[in-house]
């Protein structure tokens, strides 16, 4: 299970991030599209060094080396415009919005988001145009893990995993919740019971 940061800053965000890691969060995707490189560096500095190996950078990839971050995320646009930077010792992820795009990914990508699966919790008027569960039936890429994104919460995690996704990413379910830690733990329990 992955958590993606809220795009804009949140009150007590660093404390919440530390609590999520204490509860067993595997990966935190830092997606702050409006952050300058300096703001991004400040944000990362606030996260305890022992958690930095669990961070995934969506932007300002040049900071990865400075902070010992080995996980890089490419947006769909970046993926299509760039050649991948040296993959030695690095883990790559990306975003896709169709099974065709997902199937055509090069093997350098460890996992890719496929979205939106459900109506988004965090983005207004962002909902699926195709049934991604049906689309997964034509999955030919079994090297890259497929991660569900978009509208994922405690009510639909079980269905999502039962329908072929390898995992999921939470955004709105965490950051739009009054108690993000309690919500994370609930979602985590559902995932763990599925894999037992």
Q: Which domains does the chain have, with CATH numbers?
A: 2-195 (3.20.20.70)
pTM of the model: 0.94
**Given this model, what pLDDT does residue 143 score?**
95
**Given this model, what pLDDT does residue 196 score?**
81
Environment class of 145 (CB within 10 Å of its CB; exposed 0-12, middle 13-18, buried 19+): middle
**Given this model, what pLDDT does residue 48 score?**
97
Q: For residue 4, which phi and psi values (nearest 5 degrees)?
A: -105, 135
Average pLDDT value for the chain? 93
Q: How many helices (H) and strands (E) does the chain have?
A: 9, 8
**Given this model, what pLDDT does residue 64 score?**
93
**Given this model, what pLDDT does residue 195 score?**
84
**Given this model, what pLDDT does residue 84 score?**
59
Q: Which residues of the chain have pLDDT under 50?
A: none
**Given this model, what pLDDT does residue 111 score?**
97
């Amino acid at each position: 299970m992955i958590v993606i940061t809220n795009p804009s800053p949140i009150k007590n965000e660093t404390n919440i991030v530390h609590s999520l890691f204490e509860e067993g969060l595997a990966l935190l995707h830092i997606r702050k599209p409006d952050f300058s490189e300096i703001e991004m560096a400040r944000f990362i500095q606030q996260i305890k060094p022992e958690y930095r190996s669990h961070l995934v950078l969506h932007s300002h990839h040049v900071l990865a080396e400075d902070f010992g971050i080995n996980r890089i995320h490419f947006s769909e646009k970046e993926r299509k415009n760039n050649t991948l930077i040296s993959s030695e010792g690095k883990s790559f992820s990306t975003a896709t919005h169709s099974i065709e795009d997902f199937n055509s990914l090069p093997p350098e990508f460890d996992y890719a988001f496929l979205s939106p699966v459900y109506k988004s919790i965090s983005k207004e008027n962002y909902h699926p145009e195709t049934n991604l569960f049906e689309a997964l039936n034509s999955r030919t890429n079994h090297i890259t893990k497929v991660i569900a994104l978009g509208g994922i919460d405690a009510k639909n995690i079980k269905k999502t995993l039962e329908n072929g996704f390898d995992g999921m990413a939470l955004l709105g379910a965490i950051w739009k919740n009054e108690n993000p830690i309690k919500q994370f733990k609930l979602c985590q329990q559902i995932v763990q019971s599925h894999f037992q």
